[in-house]
Structure 1
Amino acid sequence: MNLPKYQLKAENSLILFEFTSEGNKGSIPKIIKFSETHLKDFYNLGFGDKDIETGDVDDLAISNNGDSEKVLATVVSAVYAFTDRYRDAWIYATGSTASRTRLYRIGISKHYDEAAKHFEIYGLLNDEWVKFEKGIEFDAFLIKRK
């Protein structure tokens, strides 16, 4: 995807990424974190504002900074970097709310043709993983680099 995105700062492990959203509400620090799960090669994608006090991801914060496309493109660039390093990784992603999950679905749908060249993409529907299709309201997403 050749979309504008923010510059990422990453740890050497490429597990944790940080960037700053710049928009109509000012500069807002963001975090993208890939957390290991109990399943081998399965990671949870966490994303949100950086809690200044704890340094953790606040995935319930509502920034409305006017740059959502650029922010999502930045998250996607972190997914590319992470899967360059961890080729066998499966990444689980869902929004912290139904409306955020819907935003992710819209973003995937909008850029699906390009993303599908590089990733296997599945959606969770009625407790089953199925190939992603545009127009279906999935509960979560699972992706793996081809």
Structure 2
Amino acid sequence: MNYDKYDISKDESSTIFNFISMGNKGNFTKVVAYTPTKNPSIYNLGFGDLKYDLPTKKYIIDDQVTNDNGDIRIVLATVAKTAYEFTTVNPHITAFLRGSDSRRTNTYKRAIMLNLEELSETFDIWGKNN
């Protein structure tokens, strides 16, 4: 994707990625996590802000938050960058993506459609019509 991208850090298995969204409302730690589904050859791409959950005393990925930080193109290009990294290390795995609500799903769909030609050079992309 021909957009700026944030620098990312990742775990050894290239399944957890972190980066900092830097925009007009501050800096937010973002996490992209690829987690296995019931089918071991399909992983879910989860994405959101890193938050500390007091009741469980664990860090979680909050996929409901909206930062409106003014850097959505850079954030989505960075998420796409993680997909390239994940599939390079795990070429036998299929990544599955769906937004946590219809607005997010539509945002992801638009980003994919705007960059479909380039993304299709590397990925086989399937979608569902509602």
Q: Which residue type is aligned with residue 114 of structure 1?
A: E
Structure number having the greater strand percentage:
1
User: Per-residue displacement from partner, 1:6-30 (whole Å, max 9, x unpaired)?
Assistant: 0001011111000000001100110
- Is the partner of 1:56 in helix, strand or coil? strand
Deviating 4+ runs (over 6 angstroms): none
- Is the partner of 1:124 in helix, strand or coil? coil
* TM-score of the superposed pair, with normalisation by structure 2: 0.93
Q: Which residue type is aligned with residue 52 of structure 2?
A: I
**Equivalent residue for 1:133?**
none
**Equivalent residue for 1:39?**
39
Q: Is 1:101 aligned to residue 105 of structure 2? A: yes
**Equivalent residue for 1:17?**
17
Paired with 1:60 and 1:87, the residues of 2 have a C-alpha distance of 29
Q: Aligned ranges for residues 1-146 of structure 1 at < 5 Å?
A: 1-53=1-53, 54-125=58-129
| CA-CA distance at 1:31 after TM superposition | 0.4
Paired with 2:113 and 2:49, the residues of 1 have a C-alpha distance of 24
Identity of aligned residues (%): 35
Paired with 1:121 and 1:94, the residues of 2 have a C-alpha distance of 13
Paired positions, count:
126
Instruction: Identify unmatched segments of 5+ residues in structure 1.
Output: 126-137, 139-146
Q: Which residue type is aligned with residue 13 of structure 1?
A: S
Q: Which residue type is aligned with residue 70 of structure 1?
A: I
Paired with 1:113 and 1:15, the residues of 2 have a C-alpha distance of 25
Q: Which residue type is aligned with residue 71 of structure 1?
A: V
RMSD: 1.0
Q: Which residue type is aligned with residue 59 of structure 1?
A: D
- Is the partner of 2:19 in helix, strand or coil? strand
Instruction: Identify unmatched segments of 5+ residues in structure 2.
Output: none
Which has the bigger relative contact order, CA under 8 A and spacing at least 6? Answer: 2
